[in-house]
Amino acid sequence: MTPGSGFAPDDTIVAIGTPPGTGAIGVIRISGPRAVPLASAMVHLSRPDGLEAVPARTVHRASIIDPQTGEELDVALVVKMMAPQSYTGEDVVELSCHGNAPLLGEVTRLLLLGGARLAEPGEFTRRAYLHGRLDLLQAEAVAELIGARTERAVRLAARQLRGGLAGVIGKIREQLLDLVAGLEVDLDFPEDEVGVPQVAAVEQLEAFGDSVARLVAAARRGRAIQSGMSVMLTGSPNVGKSSLLNALLGADRAIVSPSPGTTRDLVDGELVIAGVPVRMMDGAGLGIPSDVIDAEGMRRARNALEESDAILVVLDRSRDISPSDREVLALTADRPRLIVANKSDLAAAWADPDLSGYVCSALTGDGIGRIKAWLREWVEQRTASDGEEGGIVASLRVVDTLEAAAVALRRAADELGRVPTEAVLVDLREALTALEQTVGIQTDDAILDRIFATFCVGK
């Protein structure tokens, strides 16, 4: 099967399921109609009846034999799982060999010579979805679980893998289908009054829209936990941004110098705050560039500033507020930000209460704890608690389709009674399509290719 060509049910696929490198165990996974016979050609059990006769889901010690030379390659553990009671819904054999990369590669090569095909990224999980073992949201949760960077992200992805979101969306879809049917009946037989009353229909649409909007908000919080957030330190040159970055990270990540313009390119480091990875970034100080390189550094810093989730505006408390400082304050006025008055270890040149709510010294560490507390509060506000998230850790695809459904439902609720019912039904069908795309009722190979291409080979 090539990407976009569709599912080939007669293929038997194989891949190494453990990361590259040396380890105690390396797992080779085989799935498809010929999984058991292909493995049997290489697996010699101590019992005479062979792999075909052993019970499914039982682990057996076996010798791995090169079928061409009869040479023993390894002593491994083997387990078979028969369709449909397997991860993929097909016959599956897993070989737990010693974790040596050349050995695993040789066993895989011999299985390929026997007629298997090397699995594409995510193909095992794709087969699980196509065989109904997982819904599309659970399949995406597998990738999110593998890529989780914090314990909190692991818990959310594991919760999503257990299912539940598809059921919530499916219930909304079923109720929306009933409403669409009622509106169509009312359109066809207006005199009979057998359809849905308009007032009741508007109330239902508003309720559906609110439900989907809550899912969108929960999914966005889940994305923040899974993908992390970013905080940019900004200010005019030589206000102590690099020193503050190092103090927050607890490491000398950025070069510190009394000369303005030391930081030219972006420097970053990561903190885990309230179970969320937060990327802390420092860039060139903003002001009048001294040369072409300085101008490029400021351009990059401005781009990072625009893309960041929150901003720490750093001012130098030991010198007067400069035009560059005021420009930075104006530039960030409508963004989530914390204004930090740095260099409290020196004599203060100003005492503006609007600008000195958070006073610190990156040199001595005084006040750093308050800044960290603000960051934690900001993260918790953005991500809420695990219970409020409802277990939603969603891909960007899911966020986009749910948002499209919410927009269509709000539009339909606003328009019902003011525009022809036929136009409202167009919006409702758009909402239905978006919900069906979310859970995978409506999908195609191009969408599946994009989803499963993000998986690692072997999963």
Arch. (CATH architecture) of 228-383: 3-Layer(aba) Sandwich (3.40)
CB 235, CB 328: distance < 8 Å = yes
The token pair that represents 214 in the structure block: 């809550």
- Strand ranges of the sheet holding 310-316, from the earlier edge strand across to the other edge: 267-273, 276-282, 229-234, 310-316, 337-342, 358-359
Q: Which one has a higher pLDDT value, 292 or 7?
A: 292
Does residue 296 register a pLDDT over 90? Answer: no
Q: What's residue 153's pLDDT?
A: 81
Helices vs strands, H then E, count in the chain = 16, 13
User: What band does 1 get if pLDDT is binned at 50, 70 and 90?
Assistant: very low
**Arithmetic mean of pLDDT, 440-448:** 78
125 vs 391 pLDDT, higher one: 125
pLDDT given for residue 388 in this prediction = 44
The strands making up 13-16's β-sheet, listed across from edge to edge, are 43-45, 60-65, 72-81, 92-99, 23-31, 13-16, 117-118
Confidence of residue 360 (pLDDT cuts 50, 70, 90): very high
Closest CA to 226 of 175, 161, 178, 173: 161
Q: Is the Cβ–Cβ distance between 163 and 138 less than 8 Å?
A: yes
Provide the phi-psi class of 132: left if phi over 0, else alpha when psi is between -120 and 50, else beta.
Answer: left
Give the Cα separation of 94 and 327 in Å (integer). 62
CA gap 311, 338 in Å, rounded: 6
Judge contact between 129 and 160, C-beta under 8 A. no
The two structure tokens encoding residue 178: 């009933």
What average pLDDT does the segment 342-363 reach?
89
**Model confidence at 2: pLDDT above 50:** no
Q: Tell me the average pLDDT across 96-114.
A: 95
Q: Is the pLDDT of residue 387 over 50?
A: no
Could you tell me what percent of the chain has a pLDDT over 70? 91
- Poorest-pLDDT segment among 146-150, 306-310, 397-401: 146-150
pLDDT at 254: 53
Contacts 24+ apart (CB under 8 A), 148-154: 148/226, 149/226, 149/228, 149/277, 150/225, 150/272, 150/275, 150/276, 150/277, 151/275, 152/225, 152/274, 152/275, 152/276, 152/386, 153/225, 153/226, 153/275, 153/276, 153/393
Query: From CA 424, how far away is CA 438, in angstroms rounded?
Result: 21
- What does the pLDDT read at residue 3? 42
CATH fold match for the domains 13-134 and 228-383: no
Q: Which residue has the tokens 């037989």?
A: 189
Mean pLDDT calculated for residue range 360-388? 84
For residue 99, give every residue at least 6 positions away whose Cβ sits within 8 Å of its Cβ, in sequence order, or none. 18, 21, 22, 23, 24, 25, 26
Q: How far is CA 36 from CA 32, 403, 418, 424, in A?
A: 9, 45, 64, 54
433: helix, strand or coil: helix
pLDDT in tens, 21-74: 888 999 999 999 999 999 999 999 987 788 988 999 999 999 999 999 999 999
Does pLDDT of 273 surpass 80? Answer: yes
Contact indicator for 25, 18 with CB cutoff of 8 Å: yes
Q: How confident is the model at residue 389 (pLDDT cuts 50, 70, 90)?
A: very low
How far are the Cα atoms of 176, 181, 415 from residue 193, in angstroms, in the given order?
Answer: 19, 14, 21
| Per-residue confidence (pLDDT) for residue 35, from 0 to 100 | 96
Spans of all domains in the chain? 13-134, 228-383
What mean pLDDT do residues 313-331 have?
A: 91
CATH superfamily of the 13-134 domain: Probable tRNA modification gtpase trme; domain 1 (3.30.1360.120)
Of 172 and 393, more confident: 172
DSSP, collapsed to helix, strand or coil, labels residue 186 as helix
**Residue 386 confidence (pLDDT):** 47
Residue 100 reports pLDDT greater than 70: yes
